[in-house]
Amino acid sequence: MIDRARAQKAHDTEVGPAPRVAVAVLHYGDPTYATKCLRSTVSIVPAPSHWLLIGNDPRNPGPVLGDSLGVPIETIETGGSLGFAGGANFAARAAAERGAEFLWLLNNDTEVAPGALAPLLEAASPPDVAMVGPRIIAMADGHIWHDGGTIAWPEGRPVSLGVDQIPNEAGPPTPVDFVCGCAPLIRLSAFFELGGFDERFFAYYEDADLSLRMIAAGHRLLHVPRAEVRHLGSASTGTRSLVTRYYALRNRRLFRDLHAPNANVAKRHSARESRTMRARALRYRLSGRSDEAGAIRSALADHAAGRFGPKAPSARTSDPKR
């Protein structure tokens, strides 16, 4: 077991006192995930200034952990289901109110290695670096889940690099097109300068959108392979849920509208995509998969009408998750 006090003293002697970092875990669904995630953070060095559990599920309030894990964990409820974007913005405001300079935002289904924070902070130390992200390892098989990100155009699809590869020796931090929202370390001054996550996305694509806005504003983003976080994957929504399909399609189209480097090419691609997805929805309906067909039709219709944010309850698919 790591002697955190001794490790903290050694860290401060070698590199100086660390900036104030708030760890925030977004809770949605099963509280076991958030508790496990927070437990994995209690031994990290340098020690965060605050631990925050952000309850983002009014049906399942976040567990009140207090000092039960050996560090003071503050549970704060958002008062609703704000999606990832809204919940993350809430967490950032809470962190800033407590004097944090950086926010380490963790999905509830992640677990961090004890040495993960130090290389992230080292990479984020230059003032023009706005956000950095770790290497993310799949819990299921130990293979890489995300090892840096790029954007595939004209689709406007964020692509995780290194997927399913066996982790190799970690190299130095490298520039990336986007930092995955699974476990980013965010410089709060840059975050608020740009207005935080765009809550029109609600869930999915908000990380890629913020990343491109940061780059456009002159900030740098870095991927840090020496920092590792393990990820279960889609504990809140399910990897193939109707809600995932709805938000992924609707938000991809919004993301493309906002950031495509060639608007005419993007417009033609969106038209082809609409035809393809309508044909797919028809096949689903004819084969008895009406819920899946409805998710596709709703995503296309809502994008066309400019209806973003959370999906209206009267128009939800049958999937009960966020």
Q: What is the dotted CATH code of the domain comprising 4-231?
A: 3.90.550.10
pLDDT of 317 > 60? The answer is no
Question: What contacts 224, CB < 8 A, 6 or more positions away?
Answer: 119, 120, 123, 132, 133, 134, 135, 173
Strand partners, 131: 186, 221
pLDDT digits (tens, 9 = 90+) for 251-305: 999 999 999 999 999 999 999 999 999 999 999 999 999 999 999 999 999 999 9
Please name which of 58, 190, 174, 40 lies closest in space to residue 107, comparing C-alpha atoms: 40
C-alpha to C-alpha distance for 27 and 228, rounded to whole angstroms: 21
Give pLDDT, residue 16: 53
Q: How large is the angle between the packed helices 242-259 and 263-286, nearest 10 degrees?
A: 160
In this prediction, residue 311 carries a pLDDT of: 85
Angstrom distance (rounded) from CA 32 to CA 36 = 6
Task: Give the residue, 155 or 3, on which the prediction is more confident.
Answer: 155
pLDDT tier for residue 319 given thresholds of 50, 70 and 90: very low
pTM (2 d.p.): 0.90
Angle at 213 between CA 273 and CA 91, to 5 degrees: 105
Question: In the predicted model, is pLDDT for residue 239 greater than 60?
Answer: no
